[in-house]
Amino acid sequence: MNSLRRAYLKRREQLRKAMFAAGPACTGADADLFTAPDVFEPEPDSVRQDREAAAKRICSTCPARSQCLAYALDIRPSEGVWAGLSVGEIRALSLWPVADHVEQEVA
């Protein structure tokens, strides 16, 4: 593993640890609320919007929101709600196109 890759993975781990150390409000919450419940069954838009709105309400009071956003911007998730933002909203904040990113993580 080259040094650039090691530094990248170390930074990602530091961001993840900082997020969890801040005490995220989603800890203990239903994980399906923050991601689609079943990837093999399509989720109707109205159901997804309601689920994401509920997740965003939890995020709105989260003490780890800024750390979660930093982590999400780094990992570029392919789905879910992170720091009170949908994947589309996170992509809009990102400076790099999604196609340029090597690894993606799911919430």
Show binding-site residues for [4Fe-4S] cluster. 26, 59, 62, 68
Strand partners, 86: 81
Binding site listing:
26, 59, 62, 68
Alpha carbon 36 to its chain's center: 13
List the Cα angle 12/17/19 in 5-degree steps: 95
Give me the amino acid identity at 32: D
